[in-house]
A and B are shown apart, each in its own frame.
Chain A
């Protein structure tokens, strides 16, 4: 990292642009995939992407590459400057700023960074053996990786940080369609309970009851944290980012300060949460901030990068994505407040409910009321009189997520960390009434 910083320092001084920003994201990434208890894909990757933003007036040019030499970085700056000089003014662009040093991250663990392919394979074999004892096969993936991020700019910002990730997901199943899913994530590989994880997936797949088909209609549901995270991720994209708010394409438009969901729900963007351990700054070098998104059901705010922070009048919350993206900022570290009861208690107190492990292929039906469709997957069960009564054939849902989060009856006391598409969510299970299923498969 120090070598790259030195190159960046020298190159910044040579830049002919009025303002210059350099970002480097370096990774060492390993991922082992398995299916039917056989390792079928096994990857190692070492990469480093460098972005340069060159600014002249309000004209912005971006060039990126993955060669780390002084000459290559000089060329990137030159290219970005050329693009900038050809570009039209973007009157909204607020310019670069000097950011204060970010607090040191707590997300780097040597054991994760140095995990070997042999170790990953050994763990997968142990899981496979546990499943084999129950006459089940396992499919899934096991990732260990380290990331380093450097952001410098000509206004004086200097940020460096690093983090590791260990991530595993398992689908246990057989050829009769039984399936159970479980996943775990930690910055510290030593914190993952692999046996417990295997038992959770296998436990769901082992339910011996024959599957029944349930008629479409409205039911109470108990969503595992992974299913809650499926919804929350979509809500984050749709409504908790500064771009969608600014363009009034968000369900949060004109709703800040008003009740948008059940008063039982509180959601915070909390990158410093010890479970989440994000690198302490974003891709513009701005320290990540804690942001209340929903408090007791009231819409409180959204996350911003420098551009949308300027437009929305809040300043950046440290949520800039990689340079050049068109999505605008969105939350990447959402934490939902827990409830008082365990999931087992919630199930035991349910007269009739459908217990959902997670969803598959959610997609918008109507972004403005945050309604989505998709199907249940890898473990859907009918709960009757507080007990598991049947395995249920997967069903298609059509549901406004805002309505679902408005119809929350119970929140579990346990939470799980769920990684999805670059975001981390630390969420409990939810019991929700009047949840709409539109067809059985």
Chain B
């Protein structure tokens, strides 16, 4: 029996002694390292380690959570008592007792697949890489600003609950990204690569080998310079094609968030907002056109939202959210799933040990279609192709959105022609997804990582994945 096993047993016994009807004990240790370069100069390198534990209980039918950085027996007893005290206070304002959907009891370990542990690569080697990227960025004399970063994280989680579950997990995340700017003052343009937040995956240092920086950096540098004198995106209604990385954002904001079942039930009404997708829409709402199929899948290889188990011990599995355009499922926890008579989608996640786990996207994947990129573009006579997210906003019910991209190209006669700057578009979630008539094939599909999805109070950052290929939408208002 390891020390953590013993501490878990103490914690759970204490909550049981204090009349908890359910309890879980979670220890999380996170090691992270971030390096940056900006305009030829290294930014401060920080390496951090953070460890602590949390105890979540149901007492008198209500939730309590307490956590601490001091992982020792005395503190665990204090925190267990405090969690129970907090739950009793919660019970002052309850309508019905908390009930959880059924879940199995697991004793398993999960280590995310990776080839090279990024923490085995020396700091000088990583700085050499960024210096090389910085040099490539600076080769174009029109570039006035350049930034790049590497970001690595190892998370070790141990989870135990009063139902007999004991899980150990180790997750490795790697991220990289860069941007170049041209111009100055009010006439300034920026291009980011591989996406606006970079590329993040549940993978090791091998992530760096997947990109051809030598070829791609000169292209985006050239685009940044070209944008300075490009015409502004026209204002009109036309057909559009969105690139894969931007589709990741669109899926995240207009499908993932509205289908988080805690939002649907109003848990975030005062802060992150609610949702239009009420449970009476289940199995009948035409969310998108018939080619739109979306899954919630933490088992997707290398997705930033991949894991073995969520933070209440539900084993990772795939759930259909939208099938042939119809809303068929939600992103849920044991508590929220129970309210609609289903089992959890395995999506209850906390940022570290210091936060209550809440319903989160894992990997929300728009399934690939059948069209090549040329076919997507070729099917438009007069339209716009938009690439790389630059701005996003959606209302608190997740219906009315406005998204912008770093660069656009006019589509004329089925071909990409003139570059336009500040391309943007807006619309209504349901109308927009029902106008989708083409999705790129598997060769263009990738799980794009979102490293900083904000939700909850106190604010929590989650890491989520969105599987996407480029997609085509008809008659959208652009240049908004």
A and B bind = yes
- On whether the beta carbons of A323 and B90 are closer than 8 Å, the reply is no
Check B185 against A254 for contact (C-beta < 8 Å).
Answer: yes
Closest B residue to A362 by CB, please name it. Answer: B393
What residue of chain A has the Cβ atom nearest to residue B184's Cβ? A248
* Interface size range on A against B: 35 or more
The answer to whether A361 touches B396, judged by C-beta atoms less than 8 angstroms apart, is yes
Residues of A contacting B92 in the complex (Cβ-Cβ under 8 angstroms): 39, 118, 121-122, 124-125
Contact check, B63 vs A92: say whether CB atoms are below 8 A apart.
Answer: no
Q: Per DSSP, are chain B's interface residues mostly helix, strand or loop, or mixed?
A: mixed
Identify which of A45, A83, A121 contacts B45 (C-beta below 8 A): A83
Q: At the interface, yes or no: B19 with Cβ under 8 Å from chain A? A: no
A window 2-42: CB within 8 A of B:
29-42
- What are 23 inter-chain pairs, A to B, with CB distance below 8 A? A39-B63, A41-B65, A41-B356, A42-B64, A44-B66, A44-B82, A45-B66, A47-B52, A61-B45, A62-B46, A64-B46, A65-B48, A83-B45, A83-B47, A87-B127, A88-B127, A121-B89, A181-B270, A248-B184, A326-B36, A368-B186, A375-B400, A396-B402
Of the residues A35, A66, A366, A377, contact of B51 by C-beta under 8 Å? A66
* Contact code string A320-354 (vs B, CB < 8 Å = 1, else 0): 00011010000000000000000000000000000
Q: Give the residue of B45, B91, B459 whose beta carbon is less than 8 angstroms from that of A87.
A: B45
Q: Is B103 interfacial (CB 8 A cutoff)?
A: no
**Are A363 and B393 in touch, CB under 8 angstroms?**
yes
- Say which one of B1-9, B67-75, B214-222 lies at the interface with A: B67-75
> B458 contacts which chain A residues (CB < 8 A)?
29, 31, 43, 143
A61, A120, A361, A362 — most chain B CB neighbours (10 Å): A361
* Chain B, Cβ-Cβ closest to A369: B186
Residue of A nearest to B390 (CB): A364
Q: Is the CB of B270 within 8 A of A140?
A: yes
| Bound form: Cα–Cα A192–B321 in Å | 44
How far does the alpha carbon of A66 sit from the alpha carbon of B30 in the complex, in Å?
Answer: 11
* Interface contact tally, CB-CB below 8 A: 236
From residue A189, how far is it (CB to closest CB) to chain B in Å? 16
Interface flag for B394 (CB, 8 Å): yes
Contact B457 A396 (CB under 8 A): no
Spot the interface stretch: A154-162, A168-176, A286-294.
A168-176
Encode contact with A along B448-480: 1 for CB under 8 Å, 0 otherwise: 000000000111000000000000000000001
Report B100-125 CB contacts with A as 1/0, cut-off 8 Å: 00000000000000000000001110
> For the complex, what is the distance from the CA of A181 to the CA of B273, rounded to whole Å?
12
Q: In angstroms, how far is the closest chain B Cβ from the Cβ of A268? A: 26
Q: B144 CB to closest chain A CB, in angstroms? A: 9
10 closest A-B pairs by CB:
A324-B46, A117-B89, A64-B48, A62-B46, A44-B66, A121-B89, A86-B123, A139-B269, A39-B90, A139-B270
Q: Which residues of B contact A92 (CB under 8 A)?
A: 41
A313 at the interface (CB under 8 A from B): no
Q: Does A214 contact B (CB under 8 A)?
A: no
Bound Cα distance A324, B50 (Å): 15
